[in-house]
Structure 1
């Protein structure tokens, strides 16, 4: 009986470890669909986040860093978009799906509900309002 219990505990521990490893497969840098930016996906505790780590054209016409000037919060409009946290609070739901997070679009200043699905070196991003049917999708490519 003790041997069976130990075996069950070991199998459960291996399953949890494998699940955590699958969840972490999203970590790293991703090139946006238009190729204009790279997003670094990282983990804080058990949730996943992403910040803009590179942009093709980081400066405006005056040679100054591009700012988050479309943000509806006037207090945030003076912050640079480089380094901005675009992805927030995603949880891993199994089957390579990350849900319950948001994505911020600095070009519009809008934040959307978001779902991400990892397919090898492609990260399928679905931003939406309300329900997933009302939204836009794009594919990001892993930076090697």
Structure 2
């Protein structure tokens, strides 16, 4: 009986440790919150490929009323007229101390690509995503909330 309790306690401890480790990285599903309205904008899944983080839009919360699958008509290059749902908007992010930097983020609303920096907050439950031109002081930050 005592061995069973020890095994159960050890298993629970390992599961909690795995959950804590999963929260120490931005990999996962995030709900972006509009920095001007405070309302949810999209679900973005961040993945890791050899230390490089990428983020892809999985869902829009408020697509245009007449177009449930809007296209990025203001984008340039390969993203021009691509569907926003399924579009990779976050590229090239790598760990930089406690932050993630060195990549870019695309704003599908205006088609512009910005340098980007991300910082986990609130024990990995929130992600501050900053898009900027030149230096981080010249930009804006959105808060994303972890969904899974």
The verdict on a shared fold, with TM-score over 0.5 as the criterion, is: yes
* TM-score normalised by L of structure 2: 0.74
Give 1:63-74 correspondences, 5 Å limit. 63=67, 65-73=69-77
2-side partners of 1:58 and 1:136: how far apart? 22
2-side partners of 1:101 and 1:129: how far apart? 12
Contact 2:75 2:81 in 1 (8 A): no
Give 1:13-32 correspondences, 5 Å limit. 25-32=25-32
Give 1:112-131 correspondences, 5 Å limit. 112-119=114-121, 120=123, 121-131=125-135
Residue 78 in 1 paired to residue 76 in 2? no
Q: Which runs of 4+ in 1 moved over 2 A?
A: 21-24, 57-60, 75-78
Structure 1: which 5+ residue stretches go unaligned? 1-20
- The CA deviation string for residues 41-67 of structure 1, in whole angstroms up to 9 with x for no partner, is 001111111000111244651x45200
2-side partners of 1:127 and 1:60: how far apart? 27
Residue 47 in 1 paired to residue 52 in 2? yes
* TM-score normalised by L of structure 1: 0.76
Q: Which residue of 1 aligns with 2:41?
A: 36
The 10-residue stretch of structure 1 (52-61 or 24-33) with the greater mean CA deviation from structure 2: 52-61
Contact 1:58 1:82 in 2 (8 A): no
Return closer, same or farther for 1:39/1:51 CA change in 2, 3 Å cut-off.
Answer: same
**CA RMSD between the two structures:** 2.0
Instruction: Determine helix, strand or coil for the equivalent of 1:81.
Output: coil
1-side partners of 2:60 and 2:145: how far apart? 15
Residue 135 in 1 paired to residue 127 in 2? no
Instruction: Determine helix, strand or coil for the equivalent of 1:69.
Output: coil
